Structure 1
Amino acid sequence: MSRRGVGSAEWGIKGLVVLSIMLLMGTSVGIAQTATADAKQAVLQKVEQFLEDLGALRIDAVAKHLTPDALIVTVRKRGDSMESTTATGKAWIDRLTMSKTKFEEPIHNVHITIDSEALAYVRADFVVNIADNTLSHGVDQFTLIKTSDGWKIAAAAYTSIPGLPEDK
């Protein structure tokens, strides 16, 4: 770039490009913050179907809800401390195949954020019920991405605390 100054045609075109990019970025931020009710419902349905398949031990169906490189983080209360584990979706699915007990995991107090119609975040409280008995409770957090096949879970993190929630 020459040093001809700010008033040159060269700077004017570059300035116009920079200004256009800034305006587009500002517009996209506004778009990112407004998700439609239908989009939020689609994300919620994906998460609820994942949890239903998980509780019913439909392993192949659970795997299809995840991206190929999904990450699963578990934080469990053990005694007086919290212990965390991190696994790839594949390793987590492999461990899941050893499960024999079906369960239900209803969620409530759900918060959904969708950015740019391509990235979604879901936070929800849950309880795990086995034969009408609450085994544990905690918080589920999901990050989903929109693919050509629809919404997929790229990351799931959850806390697992034995027993009923304290407010029950």
Structure 2
Amino acid sequence: MEKILRSFLLLLILLGWNQSEGLFAQDISFKIGFHESIQSKILQENRKLLIHLPDGYQTSGLSYPVLYLLDGSEYGLINALSDLMRLQGRKMSPEMIIVAIVNTDRNRDMMPVVANGYPGPPRAEDFLSFIEKELIPSIEKTYRTNGQRILKGQSLSGLFTLYALLTKPTLFEAYIGHSAGWFEESNDYFLDLSEKAFQKPADFEGRKIFMANSLNDPYDADRVIHKQLADFSELIKSRLGEKIYYKYVTYADYGHVPYPGFYDGIRYIYESEENRLSAESDEAAVKKLVESFLTAVGNGDLEAIEPMFLARATIGGASFREGKWNTFTTTIEDYLASKTENHSPFTEPVSNYTIHISEGQLAFVRADAILYREGKAQSHNMDYFTLLKEGGTWKFLSAAYTAKPIIIK
């Protein structure tokens, strides 16, 4: 009944209520932007745009950063604005001009090379040239911009975002890619492109790069694209080091184009240096504690495990054996008390981490690992941890896992 009343009250508010005249219809309109177009000599076509200006643009006299939104559409513009408004409300992002570039031939514009299902001819080079030589000069001539440019792409336009980063690293101050990466047959092309680009590390100085993928992406079920981008992330860090700000995030519970990616990307770009260093320090400390715990469990070192947990912390798990799941949950004290000296050592190296830290106080970790005994793979484990920072030290509030045997035929 409460739910029905709330819905009815909401309906009254939306429609408007007048005691003398009863209910009356009331139109609500909200302008998110306007349509514009630009004639491109490079692409030899007219390109449609959707442009959003900050609410106070006409009277503020201020200059603004520009977000260039690939795969431009009304739906994409609304989603971007929604995230930006939340971030601006928390003082985590400035207001900005948004230029959403509407697609005409997406496959042609986003692909720099022929790939399976994308026979071409690829014209990513021309599309990037259009953005650099025609679109950006037009926008910066027409509107008050402060020179800071952000490029955001998703899926195939996420691939283009990586291409733009590697071929024109100074064109944008920041790059955001959702479900970013490239196809397996394009791996050599992008690795060669990376090697050529990284020969000029100064071009990447101060760039801010945020890439995101889903571990539950139906378009990357075998995680080939994720692995390639994880390898690329290691390459870019090793070759460019502290010259850039780079972060690669994976999401476990979202499908293709995980929707928190843009919010997290903008937040990362505008994060203060102090907060950035603190976040990196916390992430390193959390990862170190997880790895210390997995090592101690594998070695049966119960004395090392106990101080890692808060009092009354819990531990639980689910193991798939003989066709069914066997589960348990208990306190850490009872868990340690139940262990015997007849321990069979194992190792559990983590292949992928997903770490989310809230306000530097609470951390959620998912660790994807393979458990080995005597050098043989035994099970695929997904380990989950919740940690709290107490007195400046991270400790486990809970730990849980699933273990599924690896069957070698």
Q: Give the TM-score of the pair, scaled to structure 2.
A: 0.32
Aligned residue in 1 for 2:350: 107
- The count of corresponding residues between Structure 1 and Structure 2 is 141
Aligned residue in 2 for 1:27: 90
Q: Distance in 2 between matches of 1:28 and 1:145?
A: 25
2:399 partner amino acid: A
Q: Secondary structure at the match of 1:158?
A: strand
2:368 partner amino acid: D
Q: Secondary structure at the match of 1:138?
A: strand
Q: Report which of the two has the higher share of strand.
A: 1
Aligned residue in 2 for 1:8: none
Q: Distance in 1 between matches of 2:350 and 2:338?
A: 23
**Structure 1 residue 163 and structure 2 residue 406: aligned?**
yes
2:346 partner amino acid: F
Q: Distance in 2 between matches of 1:107 and 1:59?
A: 21
Q: Distance in 2 between matches of 1:54 and 1:86?
A: 17
Q: Distance in 2 between matches of 1:38 and 1:28?
A: 22
Offset of 1:80 from its aligned partner? 2.1
Offset of 1:81 from its aligned partner? 2.0
**Structure 1 residue 41 and structure 2 residue 104: aligned?**
no
Offset of 1:79 from its aligned partner? 2.1
Aligned residue in 2 for 1:4: none
**Structure 1 residue 142 and structure 2 residue 142: aligned?**
no
Q: Distance in 1 between matches of 2:389 and 2:365?
A: 14
% identical aligned pairs: 30
Q: Distance in 1 between matches of 2:357 and 2:91?
A: 13
Aligned residue in 2 for 1:22: none
Offset of 1:27 from its aligned partner? 3.4
* Partner deviation per Cα, 1:63-120 (whole Å, 9 max, x = no partner): 1111111111110102222221111111111123444211111112210000011100
Q: Give the TM-score of the pair, scaled to structure 1.
A: 0.74
Q: Report which of the two has the higher share of helix.
A: 2
Offset of 1:149 from its aligned partner? 5.8
* Partner deviation per Cα, 1:133-162 (whole Å, 9 max, x = no partner): 112222000000001161101101100112
Report the structure number with the largest CA radius of gyration: 2
CA, structure 1 residues 98+40, in 2 after alignment: closer, same or farther (shift >3 Å)? same
Offset of 1:28 from its aligned partner? 9.0
User: 34-43 or 108-117: which moved more?
Assistant: 34-43
Q: Greater relative contact order: 1 or 2 (C-alpha under 8 angstroms, separation 6 or more)?
A: 1
CA, structure 1 residues 131+148, in 2 after alignment: closer, same or farther (shift >3 Å)? same
* Partner deviation per Cα, 1:3-47 (whole Å, 9 max, x = no partner): xxxxxxxxxxxxxxxxxxxxxxx63999xx766222111110110
5+ residue gaps, structure 1 = 1-25
8 Å Cα contact 1:75-1:160 kept in structure 2: yes
* Partner deviation per Cα, 1:113-132 (whole Å, 9 max, x = no partner): 00011100100111111111
5+ residue gaps, structure 2 = 1-88, 94-266, 269-275
Q: How does 1:66-145 map to 2 (within 5 A)?
A: 66-145=309-388
Q: Distance in 1 between matches of 2:341 and 2:354?
A: 31
CA root-mean-square deviation? 2.6
8 Å Cα contact 1:134-1:164 kept in structure 2: no
Q: Secondary structure at the match of 1:64?
A: helix
CA, structure 1 residues 77+149, in 2 after alignment: closer, same or farther (shift >3 Å)? same
CA, structure 1 residues 86+132, in 2 after alignment: closer, same or farther (shift >3 Å)? same
2:350 partner amino acid: I
Aligned residue in 2 for 1:14: none
